Chains A and B, each alone.
Chain A
Amino acid sequence: MIQYAFYILSALSVASALMTVFTRKPVYSVLYLIFFFFTLFGHYILLNAQFLAAVHLIVYAGAIMVLFLFIIMMLNLNKEIEPNKSVVAKFAAVISGGLLMIVVISAMKGVDNIALNHRSDIGLVETLGNVLYNKYMLPFEMVSVLFLTAIVGAVMLGKKEIK
């Protein structure tokens, strides 16, 4: 049962990732990417990481992709007149992606074939909260500083220059 769910979800994620790259219109790219995030949500559920799945959906599909969609619509970029790269450049892009894939997969060839535990409870809020607020307290605080910097940077960049 879990096997079939995994294979179906994987096929959907790879297909939607490919469509994200190869669709012409940017808005369709965004929509396919949102679909990709939903398939990843399914993967997280399969791995029994419930809290992570919820956070993933809220942060990515809810916040980041809305930001993308908003920018595309605000700048009115949904035109197909994106000038094509030369055929050589496209060919080189696909070839280098495929070569990288071969290298990564063959580097991971020797990994032990361990079956995953689909009944673990490390994905629960309680476990994650305990680890996050004890072991990773300092990085957690640093993330808040990072966000503050990002907010200031975004406001500074987005502001119109005052002549």
Chain B
Amino acid sequence: MTGITINHYILLSAVLFCIGVAGVLFRRNAIVIFMCIELMLNSVNLLLTAFSNQHNDPSGQIFVFFIMAVAAAEVAVGLAILVMIYRNARSVDIDFFNKLKE
């Protein structure tokens, strides 16, 4: 019917996931790193939906709901940790937090 196949979605999700990975390595601001993690989670969500469409099975979309729930919980706790760190160190630069090395 249409020319869009599962391979298109695999390619797109792989590209988005790798942009997220590169972003985590590239940036130093901890909040932007969190956003890059969201980007990776979303590329996986997109691929799960595409596979659920391909196999005609709703389980894939249910998994996406669970991933969304985990992402929401992760962001809530992660940002609370960041606020606490900022309160102590006055910075969210991750290169600053190498105290465990000493």
Which residues of A are interface residues toward B (Cβ below 8 A)? 2-3, 6, 10, 13-14, 17-18, 20-22, 26, 29-30, 33, 36-37, 40, 43-44, 46-49, 51-52, 55-56, 59-60, 63-64, 67-68, 71-72, 74-75, 77, 82-83, 85, 89-90, 92-94, 96-98, 100-101, 104-105, 108, 111-118, 120, 122-123, 127-128, 131-132, 135-136, 139, 143, 146-147, 149-151, 153-155, 157-158, 160
Cα A143 to Cα B74 in complex, Å, equals 12
Cα A150 to Cα B69 in complex, Å, equals 11
- Total residues of chain B contacting the partner, CB 8 A: 72
| CB within 8 Å for A59 and B68 given contacts A21-B19, A68-B35, A150-B77 | yes
Cα A36 to Cα B36 in complex, Å, equals 12
Interface residues of B, dominant DSSP? helix
Contact with A along B1-45 (1 / 0, CB 8 A): 111111111111011111111110111110110111011001001
Query: CB-CB < 8 A to B31: which residues of A?
Result: 26, 68, 71-72, 77
> Distance (Å) between the CB of B81 and the closest chain A CB?
6
| CB within 8 Å for A13 and B16 given contacts A64-B72, A75-B92, A150-B73 | yes
Whether B49 and A49, one on each chain, are in contact in the complex, defined by CB atoms closer than 8 angstroms, is yes
- Neighbour of B28 across the interface among A59, A83, A131, A155, CB < 8 A: A83
Whether B69 and A147, one on each chain, are in contact in the complex, defined by CB atoms closer than 8 angstroms, is yes
Whether A92 and B25, one on each chain, are in contact in the complex, defined by CB atoms closer than 8 angstroms, is yes
Query: CB-CB < 8 A to B53: which residues of A?
Result: 47-49, 116-117, 120, 122
| In the complex, chain B residues 54-94 whose Cβ is within 8 Å of any chain A Cβ | 54, 56-59, 61-62, 64-66, 68-77, 79-84, 86-87, 92-93
